[in-house]
Every structure is written in C-alpha cells, then in structure tokens.
Amino acid sequence: MLTLTALAPLCAYAAPGDLDPSFGNGGKVVTNFFGSSDEANAVALQPDGKIVVVGENGTDFLVARYNADGSLDSSFGTGGRVTTDFGAEDVAQAVAIQPDGKIIVVGYTINGSSGDFALARYNPNGSLDSGFGGSGKLVTDFGGYDLAYAVALQPDGKLIAGGLSTTPSNLGDFALVRYNPNGTLDLSFGVAGLQRTSFGAVEVIDALVLQPDGKILAAGATATVSLSDANFALVRYNSNGTLDSGFGLGGGVTTDFGGFDEAVDIKLQADGKIVAAGYSGGAGGTLGNFALARYTSSGGLDTSFGTGGKVTTDFGSFDGAGSLIIQPDGKIIAAGATGTTTNADFALVRYNLDGSLDTSFGTGGKRTTDFGRIDASRDAVLQPDGKMVLVGTSYNSSATDGDFVLARYLGDSGLPQPGWWWNPDQSGRGFSIEVRGNNLFMAGYLYADDGRATWLVSGGPMTNVSTYSGPLLAFGNGQTLTGQYKSNTPTGSAGTITLQFSDASHGTLTWPGGTMPIERFPFGSGSPSFQPESGWWWNEAESGRGFAIEVQGNNLFMAGYMYDSSGNPIWYVSPGGMTSPTLYQGSWLQFANGQTLTGAYKAPSQPPTNVGAVALQFTSTTTATLTLPDGRQIPLTRFLF
C-alpha cells in the first residue's frame, strides 16, 4: 500500500521503544546535583507536562522538576531542585501530585537502628507547605523499624503510605498508614491510623493502587526469616483498613515463581484485572528475570495471561522490573534494569494483552538503554501522548557516586485507535488507519467515477500527537487477488489529506472531497479470548498489496487492497463472525457504484459480488496464514512501518 514498502521512505522509522530525540540529549538526561550519591527512585507527571523526580542526595530527600524537554525547571526550588532534611539519613521513595498541584513525597528517615516513615508536601514552586504537618514535613514512628516505599492519594484528599514495620516478634509486616489532608493520622483507619498485615514471615509493601470503589491494593513480598526465599504478596483492604475477605484467601494472595520473588509495582487494568510486576531470581538479586502476574478482580491468577497467569522475561543476566505501565490499548510495559553489579542498563519490555512479547516494540519486544555506567531504572510514567519516561540512577563502578538519569521513549499515542474508521452518514466507504510511533499509515476505500471500487493511501510522520497531513497517493499495475507477485507503480497524487483527531475514536478528515467527521467503526462487542493486533498486515514477499484486519468481540472485518486484471487498484472486504477464537472463514465481497472522492453521497449497489472464499488462521497475535480463493496459502505478518 503505497506498495507497502513504497511508503517506507516517507516514514522516519521512528517506532515504539525508540528514544525520543526531542528529550534531553538524544532522549536521555543525566543530572549530577551534588557530585556524590544522587539516587532517583520515583517519578510523577504534572498536568502541564513537567516531570517530578524524587530520591536522595546521600543524606536528604532530593526533589527535582524537569521541563517537558528534559531541562531542569528553574522556577522550582533552587535551579530546579529541592532538598529536605529530616535530621538523619533520609530517602524519598514515592511521589504523587495533588489536584491543586502540590507535591506529596513519601519515604523514610534512618538514625542508626531506628527508621521512621517520613513525608513532605511541597507547594508548586518547591517550597514546603506549612499546612502539612505544621512545617511541610512529618515523621511517623510506630515503635519499630518503619520504612515507607509507596503512596496513593484518595479523592477526598487523604493519603495512604505503605511499607514495612517491625515488631519485637516479626522482622517486618505490611504497614499501611492513612493521613488526613493536613498530615495528621486518620484514626478511623486500621488501629489509630495504622494497619499491619503479616503472612507469618517478613513482609514489605512496595506499591499501592487505589481501586475506583475505594478499596486499596498493596503489593510487595513475603519472605522467609532467613531471606532465602520470597514470593509475590498482594493484599486488598477495605476503605477503613480492614482486610477484604472477598480477595484471595482472607484478603491476601501469594504467588511463587520458583525463586526469590518480589512484586515491586501494581496496576489496575480497565477491566478490573490486576497486574503485578517485579523480579524472580536468587536471594539477594544474584540471578533473575522480569516477573509479571495477572490476577482476576477476586485475586485468582488469570490463566489467559502467559502460563497460568504468570510471565517471566530474560535479558540474559540479572533482570528485574521496577515499574509498570498499562497503556490505553491494554498493552503492558514493564521497566527496570538488566546487567550485573559492574555493568547494567535500563531495560523495558512491552507485552500484548495475553502476556506475549509485543514484537512491534523495540527489538522483539525489548529495549535497553546504556548511560555508560551501572544504570538502573526505578520508576516510569506514561505521558498523554504515549511517550514513556523512565527514571533511575547511574552509578560508578564502586556505586559510591550516582546521578539522576531519565530516558524518554516513543510510544503509541493512542490517537487514533488502530483499525476501521468511517463517517456514519456515508456508509459504503471508509478508512483503515494506524499510527506506529510517530508515523501514520492509512488507506481510504471508495469508488472511481466509473463505479469500480478503488483506493488511495497516505503515510508519513505525524505533524503532532493529534494531527497528520500528507499527500493522497494512487498506485496501479500490481498483484491481483490470486495472481503471481507483480510490483506496482505509483500513478499520481489525488491531492492532500489532513486528519485531526480529537480523541482516540473521533476525528476530522479534510481531503479533496471536503471536510467531514470520522469515528471508529463499531462492528462487535465484548472481549474475545484471542485478540490479534489491529492494523496493517502483509506478506513480506508480496509488497504492493496488503490487508487491514481488526477483530471486535467475535467479529472480524478485513479488507484486501490490491489490483484487478487491468491494473486498476481494487479492494475486497470480508466481514463476519469468527469460526473459532483463532480461525475466520468467510467470503471476499466486491462492492461497486458508491461514493467517489469528490462526489455527493451515494450508497454502493447491492448486493455485492462474491469473489470467492477466504480463510484466515491466526498463529499468534502478529502472524497468520491466509487462504486465497484458489486454495493457495500465504503467510501474513504485521506490517511494521
């Protein structure tokens, strides 16, 4: 389509997982604040696109704010950074942005054998907010060794901190604390504001997520007293801090990957399922892999994900995920590190909905980034434009010197959703649209002046996250439906097309035929047990023709863009129900005498011509076998542009 390969030179080949060259230096930022041990542990994105990163400078909380281009925001604190001293060794581990722009930072302060929760709230300019804890900061001591690693904000302004707390009889329990908006303990929660949960060994909360119904999910690990073995541990609490008996076994779930396993982040999917990510390896992190588990809303492992609800990913050395992102399309990104104690890099992986690697991302679904030292990502955030920001630390060989490091990667903007689009007032013609990275590729199927079905294509870089403009091109003299391969040729331009997307499923199209609204074409409902990727597919050995394929619910809609025996561009469609979750069997249909590019609306003639049988057997979410009307079978894969 544009030959499929003829389109390639028009695109910049920017793809999901590539570093974003508009951020910092080639997609990377390195910040040395104090010339010693600066460590970044968490990130949050402000509504204005500024990026807040928190960690430590070796002794104090360290909070930095960056502009959207990766430069330090000089309007924040001193030169873009703020330090806060609690009087001992202070480490910030989590951050959240309030609706009023104030910044909540949670961590701990350690003095010898004593550790306490430490919290600070900052005004948007970086000054401490005296309305929180009396001075903008507070310390909470539960009588043991208390460390906070996670934070969640409630809609009512209360905040929840999670971590661990020791007792004389236990080396660590899940510790969940709720504070009022002014920083005082919320005495209606748990016991005097604190809820402890023990699995009978050593436990820690590493991540929190608030459900829409107000229930609180906590994820971390439960380990043996000797710390020789550990498992993922999840607990769900009611809004008052009591255990939710409808989750797992009495409110808790543990998951064993067969090694030393710890869940470091947790996220909710739109369908209510729960994804946890971390690592599985030897005690002390000697060997390991990325480890992910997906759970049903009641806490059972979701067997449609990976193997029995679990997935591990190996980069070839010690690998561990430190954060999770759920994209609007449901794909899952896990970010962390891969390497050894002397050489490590940022690592990220993107998974399809079923837990398989998304091969359209990076290299085979994986991406690593080297800052030249021992580099580890600790947290990640998704921007509204689909780009991903990872933050972490780059250490020297002895780990005595660390710098804040950030990397931003291109993603899928979510504008538009890939698949079929139309103007509901002009049925009979429509558009196959997909965006990958910064590039859009689309085809419009319509009718020529003589009534025959024809198509036009356009492709290239997006103007911005929601706008595309480019030439509308025609091709001819290529391969027919059942003919042998024949290279096509460009036959000219029909003008310019502009697409302006207002959200993921609505937009405005302007082309030689005028300006009209377009929207996603719905033809099925529900969640299929198998979901192939929507968008452009092709046979790599037969460039010049291609197929737009989408499955919604139990229904498939497919178009083939190719040429007739006279060399004219022609399209065929095949809509219908799936024969099985991975098999479609139907007919190619040919329409005629519908609306032209510039003509008034005209419905195509009915009924369409049945061109022949078609079968499509999916072998994975990105590969399939297409059976043509003459019985010949050709392999199809996703077209990556």
Which residues are CB-contacts of 434 (< 8 A; sequence separation ≥ 6)? 418, 419, 440, 441, 442, 534, 535, 536
Closest to 312 (Cα-Cα) out of 359, 346, 280: 280
pLDDT of residue 17: 87
The pLDDT tens digits of the residues spanning 592-604 come to 999 999 999 999 9
> Is 432 within 8 Å of 559 (Cβ atoms)?
yes
- Lowest-confidence region among 164-173, 348-357, 470-479, 580-589: 164-173
pLDDT exceeds cutoff 60 at 39: yes
The pLDDT tens digits of the residues spanning 130-189 come to 999 999 999 999 988 999 999 999 999 999 999 999 877 778 899 999 999 999 999 999
Q: Which has more confidence, 606 or 194?
A: 194
- Identify the band that residue 3 occupies on the pLDDT scale cut at 50, 70 and 90: very low
- Averaged pLDDT for residues 364-382: 94
> Is 582 within 8 Å of 563 (Cβ atoms)?
no
Amino acid at 370: D
Helix (H) or strand (E) holding 575: strand 569-577
Closest to 380 (Cα-Cα) out of 24, 43, 68, 52: 43
- Identify the band that residue 13 occupies on the pLDDT scale cut at 50, 70 and 90: very low
pLDDT exceeds cutoff 90 at 430: yes
Helix (H) or strand (E) holding 276: strand 274-281
pLDDT exceeds cutoff 70 at 23: yes
Which two tokens mark 372? Answer: 């030249």
- Lowest-confidence region among 158-162, 364-368, 409-413: 409-413
- Averaged pLDDT for residues 246-260: 95
What is the percentage of the chain residues whose pLDDT exceeds 90? 76
pLDDT of residue 18: 87
Q: Which has more confidence, 4 or 145?
A: 145
The pLDDT tens digits of the residues spanning 275-331 come to 999 999 865 545 689 999 999 999 999 999 999 999 999 998 889 999 999 998 889
The pLDDT tens digits of the residues spanning 117-128 come to 999 999 999 999
The DSSP 8-state label assigned to residue 154 in this structure reads -
* Rg from Cα positions in the chain: 27
pLDDT of residue 292: 98
pLDDT of residue 384: 84
The pLDDT tens digits of the residues spanning 464-523 come to 778 999 999 999 998 899 999 888 899 999 999 999 998 888 999 999 999 999 999 999
**Neighbour tally for 550: CB within 10 Å:** 23
pLDDT of residue 504: 82
**Neighbour tally for 215: CB within 10 Å:** 15
pLDDT exceeds cutoff 70 at 12: no
The pLDDT tens digits of the residues spanning 195-245 come to 999 888 899 999 999 999 999 999 999 998 888 899 999 999 999 999 999
CA 346 – CA 322 distance, rounded (Å): 10
pLDDT of residue 7: 42
- Identify the band that residue 360 occupies on the pLDDT scale cut at 50, 70 and 90: confident
- Identify the band that residue 113 occupies on the pLDDT scale cut at 50, 70 and 90: confident
Give one DSSP letter per residue of 355-392, joined into a string: S-B-TTTTBTTEEEE--SSEEEEEEEEE-TTS-EEEEE
The pLDDT tens digits of the residues spanning 612-632 come to 999 999 999 899 999 999 999
Considering 77-91, 316-330, 399-413, the range whose residues carry the highest mean pLDDT is 77-91
Q: What value does the mean pLDDT of the chain take?
A: 92
pLDDT of residue 287: 60
> Is 501 within 8 Å of 517 (Cβ atoms)?
no
CA 251 – CA 233 distance, rounded (Å): 11
- Identify the band that residue 16 occupies on the pLDDT scale cut at 50, 70 and 90: confident
- Averaged pLDDT for residues 54-76: 97
